Structure 1
Amino acid sequence: MIFDEIKNASFYYNLHPYIREGLEFLINHDDLMNLAVGKQDIDGDNVFALVQEYQTKEFNEEMWEAHRKYYDLQFVVDGVENIAISHINDISPRTEYNVGDDYRLFKGIGAKIKVTRGQFLLLSPKDVHQPGLIATEPGHVKKIVLKIRIE
């Protein structure tokens, strides 16, 4: 897991070419606030963005997720949320892995990271997470989740 501000994105360019491509999309896009909700193509199945808007919610012990084919890079465009995280070895599986949708659900507890405008969290397959949680009070969040293929 990496937690940082988008202004430091270049520190992570050497991790993987697709990570660089995703971070450059965030940095170079003219108006992230006005991106339409939904899927935005960046580089086919290698890198794409899921633009989301929602109200933050309460933590749910049974709604953790992890992925195998993609890194998740969760970037807050506007608002504030907590993202709960845990290492995959410290939490219990709740479902089998769904190959088609690239996720497995878990249950348990973990730490919470407060993510605000301009910050991102890069999550690997070992980083089980629950995004979209109330930070201090319920609020509106606009977020871009970059799905970055692992290879």
Structure 2
Amino acid sequence: MIVDSLQNAAKYYSLHPNFQKAFDYVNQNDIANLEEGAFEIGEGLKLIVIIGQGNTKEEAVKGFECHDKNIDIQISIKGPETFAWKPREKCINPNGDYSDERDVRFFHDAPDTFFQLQEKQFAILFPEDVHTAMIGEGLLKKIVIKVKI
């Protein structure tokens, strides 16, 4: 997992061939005014704009998840937004089977830690990062860029 500010995104371009394309899209568009929904923004890149009321920690951990085929770049647009995290190798209580169609595996495990993103900060969550988000008060807005591995 990586947590940083958008102004430092270039430091991570070498980690995946599509990271620069993802952050270029963010820098070249008015992300604060993107409409809710899912959009293909390039080969192996999908942008999801999420707007919703923040959840409690207890409610959010019901969606404690990880992915096998994608890396998430999650960017806070309107927050602050709290995330829960735990390394996948420590998760031992699956919540159902892996969904290949949705590329998601859920867990009943309790998070090891919580962290917060402020506006224009991001988290890069790899397949080994079990996570959940949208924890907070009031209206939250974020983008998630799915980067195909």
Q: TM-score range by the shorter chain?
A: over 0.9
Specify the SS of the correspondent of 1:117. Answer: coil
Q: Which runs of 4+ in 1 moved over 4 A?
A: none
Conserved? CA contact 1:68–1:125, under 8 Å: yes
Provide the TM-score with structure 2 as the length reference.
0.93
Amino acid at match of 1:105: F
Partner of 1:5: 5
Q: Quote the Cα distance in structure 2 between the aligned partners of 1:12 and 1:23.
A: 10
Q: Is the 8 A contact 1:80 1:139 kept in 2?
A: no
Structure 2 partner of 1:56:
54
SS in 1 for 2:132: strand
Q: How many residues align?
A: 145
Gaps (5+ residues) in structure 2?
Answer: none
Shift of residue 40, structure 1, vs aligned partner: 2.1
Which residue of structure 1 lines up, in the alignment, with residue 39 of structure 2? 40
5+ residue gaps, structure 1, are none
- How many Å separate the matches in 2 of 1:142 and 1:108? 26
Indicate the percent of aligned positions where both proteins have the same amino acid.
30
RMSD of the alignment, in Å? 1.1
Structure 2 distance, partners of 1:147, 1:141, is 19
TM-score w.r.t. length of structure 1 = 0.92
Q: Which has the higher strand share?
A: 1
Does the Cα contact within 8 Å between 1:62 and 1:108 map onto a contact in 2? no
